[in-house]
Chains A and B, each alone.
Chain A
Amino acid sequence: MSKSSLYPDSRFADPAEGGAKRSPQLHIGNWLGVLPFFVFSGLFLIAPTLILAYRSFEGLNGGQTLDNYRLLTSPAVINSYGMSIRISLTTAILGGLFGFLIAWAVSLGGLPRPFRTTSTTFSGVASNFAGVPLAAAFVFTLGRVGVVTALFEVFGVNLYKSGFSLYSFTGLTLVYLFFQIPLMVLVMLPALDGLKRDWLEAAENLGATPGQYWRHVALPVLMPSILGTMILLFGNSFGAHATAYALTGGLFPLATLLIGQQISGDVLHNPGLGYAVAMGMVIIMAFSILIYSILQRRSERWLG
C-alpha cells in the first residue's frame, strides 16, 4: 500500500494512453487487462452453471415448472442425497480426526525430521490420487479377491460373508479417507506450525499441565481451522464423482452418480430432475466453501 503512494499511478501508465490517470480511456484500458479472464470464466464456468439452473425449471415437455424440484423429495433422490451426506459427514469427521493426529505426530510429536517431509510429499500425492487408479487399488486390496481379503481368509474370517463389502457405505468411506486424510494433513501442518512457542511457555509458567494447555490455549486457537477444514473435506467428498463411478460403475446411490444417471442414462432419463439435483449440489457446495473461507479467515487472526 505504501508503495502505491510512493509511485503515483500515472508513472506506470501506458505511454500510448498518454499517462492521464483519471481519463476514461485509461479506465477502459484497465478493464481490458482483466477482460479475457472474465470472458473465459463466463464461458466455461459461470454460463454452463446458469444454463443448468435455468433448465432445472423446465418440464419434460418444455414450459416453466417446479416439478423437478418437487421430485427432489422422491425416495430415490432422498436416498442418494442421504448417502452422499452420510459418507461426506463420516469421511469429514474421521478424515479430520486422523488427519489432525497425523499432522500433530509429524510436526509436534517429536518424530525425526525426514518423517515430516516424506509425509508432506506423500499427502500431496495421496490427496491427488483420486479417481480410477484409487478405486482399482482398493479393489486389489479389499475387493472379493483382494490381498487383505485373502489375508483375513487365512485367519478364518470371510469378510464378504460377515457383511463387509467394498461397494457399500463402509467400503466407500474407507476409499474416500485415502484422499480425505492427506488433505487434512496438508492444511493442518501450517496451522500447527503457527502455534507460538511463547504460548506454551506462558501456559507452563502459569502452572498449566499439557492437557490444560491444549484444552484452553491450543485447541481454541486451532478450532476455526480444524472445523473449516472439516467442512472443506465435506465438500470434497460430496462433489466426488470419479472414484465412486470407477468403483461401482455408477450404480450406487450417490448424488453425483444420480446426476449422471438422470441426464445421460438409458433407464432413468429425466434431465430436468438431474439439473435440479445438480443445483442442490451447487448450493450445498457453495455453503461449505463459504463457511470454510470465513473460518479460515478467522483462524488467520492467530495463526497467520
Chain B
Amino acid sequence: MTISTGPPITAKTPAAEAPPKGNRLWAWLIFLMGALYFMLPLAATFYWSLRAEKGRFGFEAYRRLFADANFMPAFSESIVNAIAAIFLSLLIIVPTAYWVRLRMPRLRPVVEFITLLPFVIPAVVLVFGIIRLYSRPPLLLTATYDSSRVLLVCVYAALSFPYMFRSVDNGLRAIDVRALTEAAQSLGANWITILREVIFPNLRVATLSGALLTFAIVLGELTIALYMAQKTLGPYMANLTRSKVYEPSAMAIVAFAITWVAMGMIAYISRERKQP
C-alpha cells in the first residue's frame, strides 16, 4: 500500500525575521513551479469533466456518473466497508494502546513494529497471502461474497493500524491515563466500563484524524478489493476508466474532493486542538 500521512500539526515557529530578498524570490519561484505541476492535472481533469455534452460546458459527466446503475451500490458498499474497518480498528487499537501505556510499556516497541507492518508488506503481496490462507479449510472465508467482504474489512482494519495507533497514542499522551484510571477504579468501575466511559470519550478527537485518514485510504482502495473480486469503488473506478470517456474525469474530481474534505477536517481538528 502507498504510505500516507495526514497533515501534521502545524509549526510553532513562524519565521521571526523576514529572510533576505533573494531567498524570497527563489521561494516564490519554487512554489509557483510546484503549484503548476500539481494544479495542471487537476485543472485538465476538471476541464474534461465539463465537456461531456457537445458544444457546451456543463455537469453532464457528473450526472451520468451518479446515474450509472453500478456507481451508487459500489460507492455505498465502500462507505460501509470503510466505516466498519474504522470501528474494528478502534476496537482493537484503543484498548491495546491504553494497556501498553498503563501496564506494559516494555511491549511498546513490539506493538509499534507490528503496526508498521502494512508499510513493509505491499498490498499486492498481502492480498495473495490472504487469499492463499483463507481459501481452503480450516479457514475457508473466501467461499461466498459476504464472507470475502468480512475478510476485506478485517484486512482494511489491519492496514489502518499505522495511522490509528499513532493518533490514538498521541491522544493518550495528552490525557493523564493513570489518574483517570485510578479515579474510575475508586468509583468501582471495571476495565470494560473504564474503556467505554472514560478512555474512548476522551479520545474522540484524537481518534478522528486516524479515522478520517483510514476513510480516505480505504474508500477507493483498488489492489486488495480487485483480487478479492469485491464490487467496491476501487474496481468500479478502474473499470470505468477502461469503458467510458468523460465519466472517469468526473469520478477523479469527486474522489479528489472527498480526500480534500477528509484532510481538511484533520487539519481543522489539529488546529482547533492547539488553541486551548
Give the dominant DSSP class at B's interface: helix
Shortest B72–chain A CB gap in Å is: 17
Q: Is the CB of B34 within 8 A of A98?
A: yes
Judged by a CB distance under 8 angstroms, whether A267 is at the interface is: no
User: Which stretch (A68-76, A140-148, A152-160) binds chain B?
Assistant: A140-148
Please state if A107 and B11 are interface contacts (CB–CB under 8 Å).
yes
> Are B7 and A123 neighbours in the complex by a CB distance under 8 Å?
yes
Contacting pair B220 A105 (CB below 8 A): no
Min CB distance, A84 to chain B, in Å?
11
A-side contacts of B181, CB under 8 Å: 12
Main secondary structure of the interface of A (DSSP, over half): helix
Task: Say yes or no: A129 contacts B158, CB within 8 Å.
Answer: no
Q: Which residues of A contact B1 (CB under 8 A)?
A: 239
Q: Specify which chain A residues have a CB less than 8 angstroms from the CB of B99 in the assembled complex.
A: 30, 33-34
Q: Which of A192-208 contact B (CB under 8 A)?
A: 193, 197
Q: Is the CB of B190 within 8 A of A34?
A: no
Number of interface residues of B (CB under 8 A): 103
For the complex, give the distance between the alpha carbons of A107 and B23 in Å. Answer: 12
Chain B residues within an 8 Å CB radius of A126: 38
Instruction: Tell me the nearest residue of chain B to A174, going by C-beta.
Output: B37
B174 adjacent to chain A (CB < 8 Å): no
Select B2's contact among A9, A133, A242, A259, beta carbons within 8 Å: A242
Q: Is B145 an interface residue (CB 8 A)?
A: no
Segment at the A interface, from B52-60, B75-83, B198-206, B253-261:
B253-261
A33 is contacted by which of B95, B237, B248 (Cβ under 8 Å)?
B95
A278 to B93 Cα, complex, angstroms: 28
| B90 contacts across to A, CB distance below 8 A | none
Does B143 have its Cβ within 8 Å of any Cβ on chain A? no
Confirm or deny: B42 has a beta carbon within 8 angstroms of a beta carbon on chain A.
yes
**Would A128 and B4 count as touching, CB distance under 8 A?**
yes
User: Are A239 and B31 interface neighbours, CB within 8 A?
Assistant: no
**With contacts A11-B182, A12-B178 known, is A113 near B14, CB below 8 A?**
yes
Residues 272-286 (chain A) with a chain B CB within 8 angstroms: 274-275, 278, 281-282, 285-286
Chain B residues with CB under 8 Å of A108's CB are: 15, 19, 23
A106: B residues at CB distance < 8 A:
27, 31
The answer to whether A45 touches B123 (Cβ under 8 A) is no
Return chain A residues, CB-CB under 8 Å to B6: 124
Taking CB atoms and an 8 Å cut-off, the chain B residues in 145-184 that contact chain A are 154-155, 157-158, 161, 178, 181-182
Question: Which of chain B's residues have a CB closer than 8 A to the CB of A11?
Answer: 182
Interface readout for B225-259 with A: 1 if CB under 8 Å, 0 if not?
01100000010011001100000110110011001
- Return A286 CB to nearest CB of chain B, in Å: 5
Give the size category of A's interface with B.
35 or more
Indicate which residue in B8, B24, B128, B133 contacts A274 across the interface (CB closer than 8 Å). Answer: B128
CA gap between A110 and B114 in the complex, in Å: 41
Residues 121-144 of chain B, each 1 if its beta carbon lies under 8 Å from chain A, else 0: 111111011101100000000000
A-B contact pairs, 20 of them (CB 8 A): A12-B181, A36-B95, A37-B111, A40-B154, A41-B117, A44-B155, A45-B118, A109-B19, A110-B18, A116-B10, A116-B11, A124-B6, A127-B4, A128-B259, A129-B255, A129-B256, A133-B237, A137-B249, A181-B34, A197-B13
Contacts from A to B (Cβ < 8 Å): 3-4, 7, 9, 11-12, 14-16, 30, 33-34, 36-38, 40-41, 43-52, 55, 98, 101-102, 104-111, 113, 115-117, 119-141, 146-148, 177-179, 181, 183, 186-187, 189-190, 193, 197, 210, 232, 235-236, 238-243, 245-246, 249, 256, 259-260, 263-264, 274-275, 278, 281-282, 285-286, 289, 293
Contacts from B to A (Cβ < 8 Å): 1-8, 10-16, 18-20, 23-24, 26-28, 30-31, 34, 37-38, 40-45, 47-48, 92-93, 95-96, 99-100, 102-104, 107, 111, 114, 116-126, 128-130, 132-133, 154-155, 157-158, 161, 178, 181-182, 185, 188, 190-191, 213, 216-217, 220-223, 226-227, 234, 237-238, 241-242, 248-249, 251-252, 255-256, 259-260, 262-264, 266-267
Q: With contacts A12-B182, A128-B216, A293-B116 known, what are 15 further pairs, Cβ within 8 A?
A: A52-B129, A55-B132, A98-B34, A110-B23, A121-B7, A129-B259, A132-B237, A136-B45, A140-B47, A147-B40, A183-B5, A186-B7, A239-B122, A241-B124, A282-B125
The 3 closest A-B pairs by CB, nearest first: A109-B27, A48-B129, A239-B122
